[in-house]
Amino acid sequence: MVSKRSLLRLGTLTAFTPVVLFISRLLTCIGCVVVGPGLFLSLVPLIFWKFLVTLVCNLVSGGECREPLSFFDTVFAVDNFYTRPHASTLKCFILDGHLSLSDIRELFCNKILYKRISHGSEAKDRWQFQRLHQVPRRFGWFYFWTEVPVNVDLHVKEAILTDDMNKNGCGQKSVVILRVHHVIADGYSLNSIVDEMISKESRYLVKEQEELSLKQKLYFFWTAPAWIVNFFLEEMFAKNPINHRKEDTTGVLAITSIPLEVIKSIRRKTNCHFATIGLSLLGGALRRLFLETRQDINEIPDFLKIMHLLPRPDHPFDRMCNHWSAGSFKVSLKSHNALDRLNEAEEYFRGFTENNYQKLLDLQSTIANLLPAPIYSLVLSRKYLTNMSFTSLPGYDGQAQLCGHDIVDLYKVIGLQYKQTALGAAAYSHNGQLAFSIFANRDILPTQESGERLAQVHLQAELAQLVELLALDAEQV
């Protein structure tokens, strides 16, 4: 329950929000003129320190330490690479029939691990997926890539599945998990590995980003502070049960599939983004879960903030990397109407992207790239304001095989796995299906059955209502 004091504070802050927003904008304008040069000068010691550490590291290591990790890599780095990661990304193949360990090892070694490509103008070649041969090494408060030998027997192994994911396929299907520490690669990099393994080509649906005009830059710097202030004001006083600090360190994985043509029909009828459709379906499914598990309807939050991982243009598919961006999007839970929820989510999504707020992360990364690793560890050891993540990636068309076995299903899974984990969802399109996966902390979904109910009952019910409201062909669902 929200106390009267909290409500009073919320009402007071809400009343003064226009004043706060105006002050924040005014300070931004002053900061660009007055504080800007001072901020640049304050970065000089950080620039010098990182340059010095990089130089000394290369001398001390005898060339073993390669280039330093980028900001987008470092946010996922840990002191011991083989401990539980801040985040991981994986692909889950469900195959028809029994796949032998020797077959998958041979495929992985020949097509992925030891595949070499020519590099540069010199007649040299290198590993195509070089990050699979590297780990981060910490030196002088920064991380550097260093090459290590790969023990294939250790990293490519088999086990008998005993959990609920195997209950309907015992003796008939094989499950292949391709799991990559997020410091190594992002989702599109993982797509490129899958493409090599199954001899297919996944799609890359990312628009080129044009350089902002002077007018757009001025508008961006005028409105971005207000967006940030409003974001924190909303999050600070939101009734969000998912925002509570998590005690459990384990999670539940639930999967479901939706005919891709249904999603395309919704997009054609509403002109909404694929990502927005996935976000609204996830929000609606969670609303139904809250209604089912909470006796007091007032405990259900008015909205959820979901961090959506956004791909960036010009992803270098020939190498593994972290080349991503992110934004925070709002999904309303006020209404029981799935179409209203979708339209509101789309409106927020368009407002975020059309105002170029995703560039906030790019601007921050320029400075954050100079920060030492302990700063990242301090941030990641705290509770995130946004405890939910979502990503949407296009896969391949048509039927595919892995080692001669038909791929029945293929899911992308993403999970923030370090203290603040709440819930991560991913939508991956392939072979006429939108494969939807939900990975949640057991504080949110205590059992495998509750996870399956969220994915296979609540999410499908939200989709069915959306199809009905749009008067689409219900037989497609």
Distances, alpha carbon 233 to alpha carbons 16, 237, 299, in Å: 11, 7, 19
**CB hemisphere CA count around 375 (13 angstroms):** 12
Extract the residue ranges of the chain whose pLDDT is less than 50.
1-17, 21, 32-36, 384-386, 475-477
Q: What is the pLDDT of residue 466?
A: 94
- H helix or E strand, kind and range, residue 311: strand 303-311
Distance CA 210, CA 171 (A): 52
Task: State the Cα–Cα distance between residues 184 and 300, nearest whole angstrom.
Answer: 37
Look up residue 17 and give its amino acid: T
| pTM of the predicted protein model | 0.81
CATH number assigned to the domain covering 205-476? 3.30.559.30
pLDDT value, residue 159: 80
DSSP single-letter state for residue 475: G
For residue 165, the model assigns a pLDDT of: 55
pLDDT given at position 80: 65
| Residue 316, pLDDT score | 79
Return phi, psi of residue 127, to 5°. -65, 135
Sheet with 423-430, strands from edge to edge, namely 251-259, 433-441, 423-430, 388-394, 303-311, 324-332
pLDDT 10s digits, 348-403:
888 887 777 777 777 777 777 788 877 776 766 655 444 678 888 888 888 888 88
pLDDT of 373: 78
